[in-house]
């Protein structure tokens, strides 16, 4: 009997998961809002449903008789994964862990209760509470919506005026009646991704980040494997990440964490119970030699994924997202130019075609494509990004010129 895998989401970050599941011979079901989501045209079956409505998903899943459920690249569906796993007896992130991992305020409280090093923060509901937290922490602070991803609703505030504006932005994207005001620590931010299966951390991979700042928001633009640091810092990162995993109760799932490093010490900013976005699963597959999407699917189907350290390779690689700095329409794409760059080893994928309207960069969902390169040299990656942008025109203007204005 062909096994059925329910994948929550059908956007660009879920497409590789759907394709891998089909390659593995599974019957794929993609649940998503209706819309121009590429995964809807790829899956064997689609459900037009809100991926956060876990009770509606449960009803459909019971009828379908699914054998597993998973998602990748987004936090919003994680709580539904946990709920379905609990109610249907499937393998995956525990519901309590999913609840903690999708609420930044509850997550922080769990971290602090278990001694995880993390920046101080306060739940606030209105301007008075936000102002009190602002003065307790001292400027600058970070204001966050507690239930969003992709850097939405996250802004830095250096003044009271900034604070009130950031509070308004956070409230505009959250479903909660409170947000988080967090201490801003001057440090270098990295990512740490990996997999927990059978109650054991099977994979823990620190990696460096490329970031892009737009207004008061800094968002991830790409990632670089491996992350080079001292053995002392590496041990601190590993210790704090494992403590955070235990604090949340993560198991049988991928994890994705934002970590601050300074003075040979690591601080956990956030941790999600799913694989990261911004090409992270692809980079992990290249770097380690593992079939990472396959690992996620095997885990969701109830298989304990054992990863032996001696089987993990170390192939340097990087990825960056393509953004536009303006709203506009793609008027031309030099396909032959892209092919020449692909022949040089770049893996390039575009989310839009000629004639499509593209948004100006605001957060991680504003991407218009991605570029992956096997290299340890940031200069080589920068040159490749420039070359790729030269192949795309928006309203007749070279994307590279727009990017460097």
* HEC sequence for 154-186: EEEECCHHHHHHHHHHHHHHCCCCCEEEEECCC
CB 46 within 8 A of CB 33: no
**b/e per residue, 379-389, with b = 16+ CB within 10 A?**
eebeebbebbb
Cα within 13 Å of Cα(16), Cβ side: 21
Per-residue pLDDT 10s for the chain (405 aa) are 899 999 999 999 999 999 999 999 999 999 999 999 999 999 999 999 999 999 999 999 999 999 999 999 999 999 999 999 999 999 999 999 999 999 999 999 999 999 999 999 999 999 999 999 999 998 999 999 998 776 778 899 999 999 999 999 999 999 899 999 999 999 999 999 999 999 999 999 999 998 887 765 677 899 999 999 999 999 999 999 999 999 999 999 999 999 999 999 999 999 999 999 999 999 999 999 999 999 999 999 999 999 999 999 999 999 999 999 999 999 999 999 999 999 999 999 999 999 999 999 987 778 999 999 999 999 999 999 999 999 999 999 999 999 988
Q: Which residues contact 390 (CB under 8 A, 6 or more apart)?
A: 334, 337, 398, 399, 400
């Amino acid at each position: 009997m062909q096994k059925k895998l329910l994948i929550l989401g059908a956007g660009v970050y879920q497409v590789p998961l759907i394709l891998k599941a089909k390659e593995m011979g599974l019957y794929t079901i993609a649940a998503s809002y209706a819309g121009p989501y590429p995964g809807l045209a790829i899956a064997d079956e689609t459900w037009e449903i809100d991926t956060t409505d876990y009770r509606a998903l449960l009803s459909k899943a019971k009828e379908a008789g699914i054998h597993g459920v998973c998602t990748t690249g987004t936090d919003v569906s994680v709580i539904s994964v946990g709920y379905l796993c609990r109610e249907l007896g499937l393998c995956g992130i525990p519901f309590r862990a999913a609840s903690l991992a999708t609420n930044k305020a509850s997550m922080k409280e769990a971290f602090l209760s278990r001694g995880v090093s993390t920046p101080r923060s306060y739940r606030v509901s209105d301007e008075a509470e936000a102002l009190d937290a602002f003065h307790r922490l001292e400027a600058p602070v970070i204001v966050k919506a507690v239930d969003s991803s992709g850097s939405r609703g996250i802004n830095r505030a250096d003044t009271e005026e900034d604070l009130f504006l950031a509070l308004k932005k956070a409230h505009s994207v959250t479903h909660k009646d409170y947000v988080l005001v967090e201490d801003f620590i001057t440090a270098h931010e990295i990512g740490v991704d990996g997999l927990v299966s059978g109650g054991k951390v099977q994979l823990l991979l620190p990696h460096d980040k490329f970031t892009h700042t737009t207004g008061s928001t800094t968002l991830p633009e790409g990632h670089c494997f491996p992350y080079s640091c001292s053995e002392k810092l590496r041990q601190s990162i590993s210790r704090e990440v494992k403590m955070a995993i235990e604090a949340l109760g993560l198991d049988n799932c991928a994890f994705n964490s934002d970590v601050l490093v300074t003075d040979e010490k690591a601080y956990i900013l956030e941790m999600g119970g799913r694989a990261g976005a911004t090409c992270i699963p692809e980079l992990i597959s290249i770097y380690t030699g593992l079939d990472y999407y396959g690992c996620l699917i095997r885990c969701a189907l109830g298989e304990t994924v054992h990863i032996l350290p001696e089987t993990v390779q170390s192939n340097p690689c990087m990825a960056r997202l393509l953004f536009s700095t303006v709203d506009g329409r793609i008027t031309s794409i030099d396909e032959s130019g892209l092919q020449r760059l692909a022949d040089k080893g770049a893996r390039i994928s575009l989310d839009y075609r000629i004639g499509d309207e593209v948004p100006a960069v605001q957060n991680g969902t504003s991407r218009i494509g991605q570029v992956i390169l096997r290299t340890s040299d940031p200069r080589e990656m920068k040159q490749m990004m420039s070359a790729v942008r030269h192949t795309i025109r928006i309203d007749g203007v070279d994307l590279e010129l727009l990017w460097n204005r």
